[in-house]
Amino acid sequence: MTLLEAKQSLGIIGCGTMGEAIVRGILRSGGLAPTQIFASDARAEVAAALAANHGIRTGTDNLAVAMACDVALLAVKPHQMAAVLGNDAMRVALAHKLVISIAAGVRLEKLCGYLPKSATIRAMPNTPALIGEGMAGLARGKGTSDEQMALGLALFAAVGKSQEVDEAHMDIVTALVGSGPAFVFVMIDALADGAVRLGLRRDTAVAMAAQMVQGAARMVVQTGRHPAALKDQVTTPGGCTAAGLSVMEDGKIRSVLARTIEETARVAGKLG
């Protein structure tokens, strides 16, 4: 079921980096029409820019958005959640509606505490949603139906891929999916640095590194083969790739990347 087919209206509370990425991505994909989206942000200038850029209804009144929408997406920072949800009027406005929070580390138990009569989903998307290449993990609260979960999954599928996960795994998903793009951006920058050091132009190096990473990722997805098998396929015995891989192993690259996810997940668990 697509969101358009469901004929539901989406309310977005908090329109910073992620809120706007989701608005932009959903409109770009045709998942919803501009008239189906109503968004609010604490900053009047952010709300006004969003209306001007996307033709959606916006304002600074969270309660008006909560009352008008069928499905609410909470896209404020974890520490701003209490200011948004901690009042009776909001609890009443969102009762019997589907409420999806993308705040890192905010557990379903806490969301349900604020909104005992709402169906809740805790989601972790990422900024590639902006270009329709996002990934999102979604965990459902008690009482959230299969139909509501399908709607939540469809919302994020409009801007990439989405998958249901157990809430026990959400801090891991936060590290891998939510923070992951930052780690890959650093890798692209570092690979380009190496090429620049050897004389390649910076713009050429960044463009080539980025396309190479995209191609490699797509090969993993499209072939379904294990990344190690794909690596072996390009590693000629005694060749240059084998030499480069030795340098990566000297630098403990696998353990650095795996520990990056572990540490990020540990900190994500404390954010809520």
Ligand X SMILES: NC(=O)c1ccc[n+]([C@@H]2O[C@H](COP(=O)([O-])OP(=O)(O)OC[C@H]3O[C@@H](n4cnc5c(N)ncnc54)[C@H](OP(=O)(O)O)[C@@H]3O)[C@@H](O)[C@H]2O)c1
**Residue 163 sits in the site that holds ligand X (CB under 6 A):** no
**Residue 90 sits in the site that holds ligand X (CB under 6 A):** no
Selected from 8, 36, 118, 126, the binder of ligand X by CB under 6 A is 126
CA distance 76 to 17: 10
Longest dimension (CA), the chain: 69
Selected from 103, 111, 188, 205, the binder of ligand X by CB under 6 A is 103
Query: Of 203, 208, 216, 209, which is closest to residue 191 (Cα–Cα)?
Result: 209
Comparison of 103 and 192: residue with beta carbon closer to ligand X: 103
**Residue 78 sits in the site that holds ligand X (CB under 6 A):** yes
Q: Characterise 118 by phi-psi region: left (phi > 0), alpha (psi -120 to 50), beta (else).
A: beta
The DSSP H or E segment spanning 236 is none
Selected from 46, 66, 93, 159, the binder of ligand X by CB under 6 A is 46
The amino acid occupying position 161 is K
**Residue 53 sits in the site that holds ligand X (CB under 6 A):** no
Q: Characterise 13 by phi-psi region: left (phi > 0), alpha (psi -120 to 50), beta (else).
A: beta
**Residue 214 sits in the site that holds ligand X (CB under 6 A):** no
**Residue 13 sits in the site that holds ligand X (CB under 6 A):** yes
Rounded least distance, CB 28 to ligand X, Å: 18
**Residue 51 sits in the site that holds ligand X (CB under 6 A):** no
Rounded least distance, CB 221 to ligand X, Å: 20
| Closest residue to ligand X, based on beta-carbon distance | 16
Rounded least distance, CB 161 to ligand X, Å: 14
Burial-class residue 85 by CB neighbours within 10 Å (0-12, 13-18, 19+). buried
**Residue 178 sits in the site that holds ligand X (CB under 6 A):** yes
**Residue 62 sits in the site that holds ligand X (CB under 6 A):** yes
Comparison of 23 and 205: residue with beta carbon closer to ligand X: 23
Count residues near ligand X (CB under 6 A).
28
Cα–Cα distances (Å) from 186 to 21, 75, 77, 132, in that order, read 21, 25, 23, 21
Q: What are phi and psi of 113, to 5 degrees?
A: -65, -45
CA torsion sign for 94, 118, 6, 26 is positive
**Residue 75 sits in the site that holds ligand X (CB under 6 A):** yes
Comparison of 43 and 254: residue with beta carbon closer to ligand X: 43
Rg over CA atoms, the chain: 21
Residues 25-44 that bind ligand X (CB under 6 A): 40-43
> Can you give the binding site for ligand X, defined by CB under 6 A?
13-19, 40-43, 46, 62, 75-78, 80, 83-84, 102-104, 124-127, 178
